[in-house]
Structure 1
Amino acid sequence: MNEWQVTTVLSQFRHSTSARSLRLGLAEPFHGLPGQHIDIRLTAEDGYSTARTYSLSDVRETRTIEVTIERADDGEVSPYLVDVVEVGEPLEVTRAHGGWFTWDERDPRPVQLIAGGSGLAPLMAMIRSREVSAPMVPFGLVYSLRSPDRVLFADELRQLMHRGRMPVHLAHTREAPADDPRPAGRLGGGELAEITMSPDRDPTVFICGPNGFVEQCAAAMVAAGHQPGRIRTERFG
């Protein structure tokens, strides 16, 4: 049974017209693991309540956490979190949960991240934690998104690339930047094999995104020679 606590929205960052990150101050501190998620509950004046699960995008501190939400136009919770809630207002949340789709900073093996859309959120928690606690562990990211105006964490990803901290491959599926040598289109299995770590390096592969995207990428990685047991997936939709 979930135990709820009231948090306070400390700050917000808008990534696009449909997505933003909220940093929440915790009344009861906890340590979340990179890749875990929390439930957020909204309660109306008439007593009706509903909750949804959102991945943590930053778990480096114990007194604050960050969630990154993309609006689902038919959703009951995400439109409020993206467009309505303001800094200083309360939100009810659970403690972090989920244990399979997590990265252990003590594991020295390479890590290959593959994100589709807002599936970047839990992978960003892994990237940020790695920079603090295990900067020598090799990481790589493939990030599939519809168009340049939908990118999440654009400045951080740019800095990671410019500083040579990790290879980052952006794959725009519907509209690509004018200077992008890659034309817009979905990731194919052959392309994914070329831009991800070789199975000879035995990386842990984390894939997060919409259902179909995750299934396609997981199958492509197995076809490329990665062991199924080394592939961890989280999906939505």
Structure 2
Amino acid sequence: MSPLWRRARLVERYPQTATARTLLFTVPDWPGHLAGQHVDVRLTADDGYQAVRSYSLAAPEDGERIELGVQPMPGGEVSTYLAGELPVGAEVEVRGPLGRWFVWRPEQPGPVLLAAGGSGVVPLVAMVRAHRAAGSRAPFRLLYSVRGPEELWYRDELADGAPNLTVRTVYTRSAPPGDPRPPGRVGPADLRELAGAAPPDGPAYVCGPTGFVEHVSDLLIDAGHHPAAIRTERFG
């Protein structure tokens, strides 16, 4: 049975980058969700025209409150409206939670490898937050690939030295002053330190643009990671 459409009221919106936004909604009778799941968002125009897009949940279950990360896309009617035009206090419709494969549960043992490209970090941050809230001692290792430092999401949160969390940021086009790695695509050496400490059959979650997901998945397999242990979510 498909999840019901529910009314979601925007209560807060704040920036992650110059264009990306975090949106906080309240959803009456929200059934709860797992870290890594997503929702469909539906907009309905006055003339009845409807548009539906999927967005990852950026935080673990929190009563009737859900958090989404939105990166406006060129020509994207839904993402542009949500990121900059939907008034605080206005409502949209959401359906979910959706997806039960790309999820992390606090009872999962052992190290976890996360790899994010750009806004693909959103569902992985939900896992990091769930991991922190549960007091899990399972090591979390996040490889975060962005074009430049101005495109970092959750800058302070991922730099706070949280226990059992290791973050390696890879800049593909421009690196901040003093960064020892020259800008460039994720390579075997970037994964070696993080993935090398994880068992080959340990879970790896990879999220981002299709090209990034396929590239990182291939690198993991080449490094000996079992394909069945790699869970992916892609866009674009």
The corresponding residue for 2:193 is 194
1:129 CA drift (Å) = 0.4
> Using the alignment, how far apart are the partners of 2:3 and 2:74 within structure 1?
27
The within-5 A match list for 1:11-30 is 11-30=12-31
The corresponding residue for 2:203 is 204
Residue 207 of structure 1 aligns to which amino acid in structure 2? V
TM-score (norm 1): 0.94
1:104 CA drift (Å) = 1.6
Question: For each residue in 1:104-144, what CA deviation from the matched residue of structure 2 results, as whole angstroms up to 9, or x when unmatched?
Answer: 21111211000000000000110000101142111010000
The corresponding residue for 1:53 is 54
Q: In 1, are the aligned partners of 2:206 and 2:213 still within 8 Å (CA)?
A: yes
1:181 CA drift (Å) = 1.2
Q: In 1, are the aligned partners of 2:113 and 2:194 still within 8 Å (CA)?
A: no
Q: Number of residues paired by the alignment?
A: 235
Q: In 2, are the aligned partners of 1:144 and 1:173 still within 8 Å (CA)?
A: yes
Say which is worse superposed, 207-216 or 172-181, in terms of deviation: 172-181
The corresponding residue for 2:165 is 166
> Using the alignment, how far apart are the partners of 1:35 and 1:134 within structure 2?
18
> Using the alignment, how far apart are the partners of 1:92 and 1:131 within structure 2?
30
> Using the alignment, how far apart are the partners of 1:18 and 1:203 within structure 2?
35
The corresponding residue for 1:143 is 144
Question: Judging changes above 3 Å, is the alpha-carbon distance between structure 1 residues 197 and 31 closer, same or farther for their aligned structure 2 residues?
Answer: farther
Residue 114 of structure 1 aligns to which amino acid in structure 2? A
Question: Judging changes above 3 Å, is the alpha-carbon distance between structure 1 residues 195 and 215 closer, same or farther for their aligned structure 2 residues?
Answer: same
Q: In 1, are the aligned partners of 2:112 and 2:198 still within 8 Å (CA)?
A: no
Residue 209 of structure 1 aligns to which amino acid in structure 2? G
Where structure 2 has 5 or more consecutive residues not aligned to the other structure, the ranges are: none
1:229 CA drift (Å) = 1.1
The corresponding residue for 2:217 is 218
The within-5 A match list for 1:58-207 is 58-159=59-160, 161=161, 163-200=162-199, 202-207=201-206
CA RMSD of aligned residues (A): 1.4
The corresponding residue for 1:36 is 37
Q: In 2, are the aligned partners of 1:112 and 1:197 still within 8 Å (CA)?
A: no
> Using the alignment, how far apart are the partners of 1:31 and 1:118 within structure 2?
23
Residue 85 of structure 2 aligns to which amino acid in structure 1? V
Q: Give the 3-state SS of the residue equivalent to 2:16 in structure 1.
A: strand
> Using the alignment, how far apart are the partners of 2:60 and 2:76 within structure 1?
25
> Using the alignment, how far apart are the partners of 2:82 and 2:101 within structure 1?
26
Question: Judging changes above 3 Å, is the alpha-carbon distance between structure 1 residues 199 and 27 closer, same or farther for their aligned structure 2 residues?
Answer: closer
Residue 81 of structure 1 aligns to which amino acid in structure 2? L
1:59 CA drift (Å) = 2.1
Q: In 2, are the aligned partners of 1:110 and 1:201 still within 8 Å (CA)?
A: no
Question: Judging changes above 3 Å, is the alpha-carbon distance between structure 1 residues 28 and 164 closer, same or farther for their aligned structure 2 residues?
Answer: closer
Where structure 1 has 5 or more consecutive residues not aligned to the other structure, the ranges are: none
Q: Identity rate of aligned residues, in percent? A: 40
The corresponding residue for 2:5 is 4
Question: For each residue in 1:61-104, what CA deviation from the matched residue of structure 2 results, as whole angstroms up to 9, or x when unmatched?
Answer: 12101000111112121001111113211121112110111112
Residue 220 of structure 2 aligns to which amino acid in structure 1? M
Q: Give the 3-state SS of the residue equivalent to 1:101 in structure 2.
A: coil
